[in-house]
């Protein structure tokens, strides 16, 4: 039989055993918990590795996609280059065809210019022939007995040259009447809105007026050792503007008597008409009168086709707007 002390000792031993067993159990539980924690850590590491692998796979996929995009871009670039080359080739062929067309047009223009020169030569020949048949030269070769030999000058104007005889000594013996030219102010007085106009320029106007043979000796000049004398009205004679203007005024008076509005300025004539038909009829009558009077028309400087816009004395006249503007720079 155990004594009370032995029983207490046994009880204490059992309690120690139970406590030891509990401690061991706690240690084993702690070890299992640590093992589970390590397992969770390893799982997290494996999950992280799998996530990193998935990220690397996504990156590789993105890289493959970028490579596919670059490849498609390279293909499009190659297509564009081939298309650009074809376009450039087409452009070169088109430019070559255009240059060939330009050369053909230039050849055609050259042929047309040659035909025009031929026609001009024919017209010049015909005119020269007609002038020889119908007109009188403005000068003639004079004998050495001419009493006055004057300097001859060439005055260059905008579109032609004029022979001007230095007649200052002769002019001192002449009385030149004073008179007024009709000009642009007269145009402003006569023109009406929507008038039809045409103009006539007389070729070498003064040379239409013949000088009496008794006066030829005062109009002499020398050229290349040969003596000449004017047999028609020369530029430089003080009375020439008055004489020629009075002659033209007689024709203008005749036309105005029949209702024609005309502005004469030396050898330039402007006609104003109410309608195109009236302008054509007036033009026919005027040309007949000038031809009968022996005047030669300068076709290049005349505007014979009736128009509402016309250049006269260096001004552009527009009857539709009632304006006029200078053409001189």
* Domain-located, residue 61: no
**For residues 316 and 197, is the Cβ–Cβ distance under 8 A?**
no
161 lies in the same domain as 113: no
pLDDT higher than 50, residue 136: no
* Domain-located, residue 15: yes
168 lies in the same domain as 217: yes
* Domain-located, residue 86: yes
Domain carrying residue 246? 139-326
For the stretch 6-34, pLDDT in tens is 778 888 888 888 888 888 899 999 899 99
For the stretch 55-94, pLDDT in tens is 999 999 999 999 999 999 988 888 888 877 888 888 888 8
* Domain-located, residue 64: no
Q: How far, in Å, CA of 318 to CA of 311, rounded? A: 9
Mean pLDDT of 309-318: 86
Percent of the chain with pLDDT over 70: 85
Query: pLDDT band for position 247 (50/70/90)?
Result: confident
176 lies in the same domain as 265: yes
Rounded to the nearest 5 degrees, what angle is found at the Cα of 268, between the Cα atoms of 262 and 269? 20
* CATH number of the domain where residue 244 is located: 3.30.70.270
For the stretch 263-311, pLDDT in tens is 998 889 999 999 999 999 999 999 999 888 888 888 888 999 999 988 8
* Domain-located, residue 130: no
158 lies in the same domain as 274: yes
The count of structural domains within the chain is 3
């Amino acid at each position: 039989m155990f004594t009370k002390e032995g029983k207490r000792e046994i009880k204490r031993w059992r309690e120690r055993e139970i406590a030891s067993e509990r401690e061991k159990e706690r240690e084993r539980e702690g070890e299992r918990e640590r093992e589970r924690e390590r397992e969770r850590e390893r799982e997290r590491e494996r999950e992280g590795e799998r996530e990193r692998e998935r990220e690397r796979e996504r990156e590789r996929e993105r890289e493959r996609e970028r490579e596919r995009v670059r490849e498609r871009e390279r293909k499009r670039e190659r297509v564009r280059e081939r298309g650009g080359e074809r376009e450039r080739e087409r452009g070169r062929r088109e430019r070559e065809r255009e240059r060939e067309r330009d050369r053909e047009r230039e050849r055609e223009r050259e042929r047309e210019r040659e035909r025009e020169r031929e026609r001009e030569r024919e017209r010049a020949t015909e005119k020269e022939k007609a002038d020889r048949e119908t007109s009188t030269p403005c000068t003639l070769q004079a004998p050495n007995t001419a009493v006055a030999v004057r300097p001859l000058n060439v005055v260059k104007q905008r579109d032609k040259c004029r022979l001007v005889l230095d007649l200052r000594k002769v002019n001192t013996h002449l009385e030149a009447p004073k008179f007024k030219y009709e000009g642009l102010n007269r145009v402003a007085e006569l023109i009406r809105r929507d008038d039809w106009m045409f103009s006539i320029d007389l070729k070498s106007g003064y040379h239409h007026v013949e000088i009496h043979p008794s006066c030829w000796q005062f109009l002499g000049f020398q050229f290349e050792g040969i003596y000449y004398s004017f047999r028609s009205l020369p530029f430089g004679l003080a009375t020439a503007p008055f004489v020629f203007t009075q002659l033209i005024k007689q024709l203008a008076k005749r036309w105005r008597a029949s209702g024609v509005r005309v502005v004469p300025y030396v050898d330039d004539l402007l006609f104003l008409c109410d309608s195109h038909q009236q302008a054509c009829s007036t033009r026919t009558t005027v040309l007949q009168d000038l031809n009968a009077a022996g005047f030669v028309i300068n076709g290049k400087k005349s505007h014979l086709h009736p128009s509402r816009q016309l250049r006269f004395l260096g001004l552009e006249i527009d009857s539709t707007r009632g304006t006029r503007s200078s053409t001189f720079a």
